[in-house]
Amino acid sequence: MVKQIIMKKFLIAGLLLPGLLQAQRWHINFLGGISNYSGDLQSKTLTLDQSNFAFGAGVQYDVTRHISVLSNLALLKVSAADKYNKPDLQFRNLSFESQIFEWNVLAEYNFFDLTKKVFTPYVFGGVAFYHFDPYAFDSTGRKIYLQPLSTEGQGLPQYPDSKPYSLNQFAIPFGAGIKLRITENVVIAYEMSFRKLFTDYLDDVSNRYVDENVLLAAKGPTAVMMAYRGGELKGGAPYPPSGTVRGNPKYKDFYYFTGIKVIIAIISKRDGYYGRGRIDCPPKMNR
């Protein structure tokens, strides 16, 4: 009995396999747009202010006519400065920039079948791994990476609860967009893509100022200078007392980007695939 059931399953699989192989739909995609972030140096949740470039490319596999799996690489930049921040935060005079390199794997759902419609809204979500490395420029224009400076006492024995943050982390990507078919094999899309992060140090600002003398002894004058830059302003206040609020650790940072994506079908003559998702056999030749 068991043998018969197994043979039956193999028979069904054998009948379905050619159809599944024919239904494979592969695409390549390219994205160009702008990126931004929300955190202690950018008070607006969503804004075009202080935006930067964003580029991406990847591959897409259509599991069904509604569900796809994607894997992409992305390069983007985020930056912000207190001089554009809320008036009550401008006294810090902090700033940062960071390139972000990301690899993600996404599942995408299209609400309409693009073999029958010329457009469809879609949503997506998944997992991402990214690298960042915040830096700023001092008053002379020298580029200084911030993570090694322990600006909030990260890794110093005097602050055992403040651990160094990793520059390589996971994120949860999610977003939505709308697709429009241009030709049989080309689709363009406009999408917004967000990243839920598990760090508040994308901008190197999260918690409180540490003791100036402790930071000076451990990391040197550059660390003190980059931890608080209000002294560079005309009439600026001196370095704040230890424990003074520097950032808000209650909410994690996040970054996002928006742009235009071009999706191009990879055509396979063997399986008779066409850009609109046809999986029927090629038309018969006249004899």
Q: Dump pLDDT digits (tens) for 163-172.
A: 999 999 999 9
Q: What is the pLDDT of residue 20?
A: 41
Judge whether residue 6 has pLDDT over 50: no
Q: What is the pLDDT of residues 231-258, one digit of tens each?
A: 999 988 999 999 999 999 998 999 999 9
Q: What is the pLDDT of residue 128?
A: 98
Mean pLDDT along residues 126-150: 97
**CB burial class (10 A; 0-12, 13-18, 19+) of residue 99?**
middle
pLDDT band at 160 (very low <50, low <70, confident <90, very high): very high
Q: What is the pLDDT of residues 251-280, one digit of tens each?
A: 899 999 999 999 999 875 544 443 444 444
pLDDT band at 82 (very low <50, low <70, confident <90, very high): very high
Average pLDDT, whole number, for the chain? 88
d(CA 171, CA 202): 12
Buried b (16+ CB within 10 A) or exposed e, 165-202: beeebebebbbbbebebeeebebebebebbbebebbbb
Domains in the chain, CATH or no CATH each? 26-149+165-204+252-266 (2.40.160.20)
User: Strand 52-62 vs strand 67-81: parallel, antiparallel, or unpaired?
Assistant: antiparallel
The residue length of the chain stands at 287
